[in-house]
Amino acid sequence: MTRMPAVQQDQLLDLRIERLSYGGEGVGRHDGFVVFVPRSVPGERVRARVLRRKRQYATAELEEVLEAAPDRVEPPCPYYARCGGCQLQHLSYAAQLANKQAEVAEALEKIGGLENLPLRPIIGAQETLGYRNKMVFHLMRRAGAVSLSLVGRSAGGGAVARGGRGKAPYQTNRQQIAIDACAILDARANALIPALNAALTRMLGDGPDTPPHESFGHLMLRLGVGTGHPMAMLGVAVPELAAAEQRQRWQPLIAALPEGASIWFNVMRRPWDEHFGRDSHHIHGPQTMRESVRGLSYELLPETFFQTNTRQAGLLMDLVVQWLNPRPDDLILDLYAGCGGLSLPLAQRCAAVLGVESAYSAILDGQMNARRNGLLNCSFRSGLAEKMLRKLWAEGLKASLVVLDPPRSGCHPKVIELLPRFPARELLYVSCSPPTLARDLKALAALGYEVIEVQPLDLFPQTYHVECLVRLRPGPALLHPPTGG
């Protein structure tokens, strides 16, 4: 006799939530079968409806909290129930930090196979709301009015289904949600949203309504927290807006932003694309946005990455300098350097810093920022880290300290493989993804590196994301690096 599956589609389940998963969803079990329930809290009993069933787990929607946990709080954002940007607003901030601490420890142990590591207590943020300096909004149009929107939650974890190459999306359960303000965005940026909606309506209001699950473009809004200087980049599939004779059409947007704002246009290939295109045009104001952190001045092009939490970025800089403790004669190699967010404060303390970065706009910003701050000992080279490392080794570079600050995907395997060729007395790994950090630390440990300490740092309150700093030293096997090619 065939046994019925433990969990079926649309089934109502009463579950006890055991813990949070990486991603912020509550984990419960029904007859041993794992069920993920977003917006639930460890320790509470909930009723949830199964939305999707996979072979080894199911995802469910919270229907009712039967026994609330002490850590449950009222979300501060009115859009939280529908918006997909935050995952933990229903959790007290102390519980958020405890969960992120456990998240890091679990990843290092289960993925990295690293036990009994010197894991320091997580450093929380002083500001848990209004901290973001950047937001990319979607554009939706209803009855001739354009609104800035964010992507809603995906019920049951569903993804966008597309109708084939070059065709519009035809299915998704992630609706666009028009918002008046975002709870984690800087208040000065939020104050611009009504005027931006009105300006975009004047510019782009003529046209058909967008379906509930689609957008017709993006608007990136960025603010220098230390300077108050704004930047906006509009992305739509209307290439003629880049033409000089079309500048009059931009007047509503120029008027909606403070004087001196940097305004850019990005030509998107298709209206429904999820990301900006490659073709950007400067429209008005200065080409860069100005930011100031720890006495250093940064100017950023629209495509250049910079930490979205400026205040916590300053703390991150402090910790990197403190942990590495550069000597006056040190040469520091900064891989995945971006625009010099870590390179510049380090250059104030050592003989030279060489930043390696693949994004050309970030290289331009880094070089410009080094000159602006009078740090002529800080230079940058453009290229993929894995290719540049081999080239630098062939050139005979002798780095005494190495910084790794890769994207969420972690370091390229070749980067890990080539690091022992550099006689660095310490490595500092900065990560925004515990799973890929654990994977890379496992590979570094296999090469002979030893983890000295791990410091979680919350740069992203109300979300499941967490930053980590890891300090490593070469073990005895690496005191004499290989000399072969």
Q: Which active-site residues does the annotation give?
A: 432
Cα–Cα distance measured from residue 321 to residue 346, given in angstroms and rounded to the nearest whole number: 6
Query: What is the torsion angle, in degrees rounded to the nearest 10, for the CA atoms of residue 339, residue 343, residue 348 and residue 350?
Result: -150
CA nearest neighbour of 149 among 186, 115, 168, 175? 175
Neighbours of 343 (CB within 10 A): 27
In one letter, which amino acid is 75?
A: P
Partners of residue 403 on adjacent β-strands: 334, 428
CA nearest neighbour of 356 among 386, 376, 331? 386
**DSSP H helical segments within 242-289, as ranges?**
251-256
Q: Please name the residues in contact with 380: beta carbons below 8 A apart, sequence gap of 6 or more.
A: 337, 340, 343, 354, 355, 356, 357, 363, 366, 367, 370
Cα–Cα distance measured from residue 439 to residue 427, given in angstroms and rounded to the nearest whole number: 16
Q: Are residues 289 and 229 in contact, defined by beta-carbon separation less than 8 angstroms? A: yes
Per-residue DSSP letters for 148-209?
EEEEBP-GGG---EESSTT--EEE-S--EEE-S--TTB-HHHHTTHHHHHHHHHHHH-SSPP
Cα–Cα distance measured from residue 311 to residue 318, given in angstroms and rounded to the nearest whole number: 11
Neighbours of 334 (CB within 10 A): 29
What does each C-alpha distance from 86 to 23, 75, 83, 128, 461 come to in angstroms?
10, 10, 7, 12, 9
Q: Are residues 17 and 42 in contact, defined by beta-carbon separation less than 8 angstroms? A: yes
Cα–Cα distance measured from residue 396 to residue 370, given in angstroms and rounded to the nearest whole number: 24
Helix (H, G, I), strand (E, B) or coil at 363: helix
- Integer distance in angstroms from the first to the last C-alpha of the chain? 63
Cα–Cα distance measured from residue 438 to residue 244, given in angstroms and rounded to the nearest whole number: 50
Q: Please name the residues in contact with 2: beta carbons below 8 A apart, sequence gap of 6 or more.
A: none
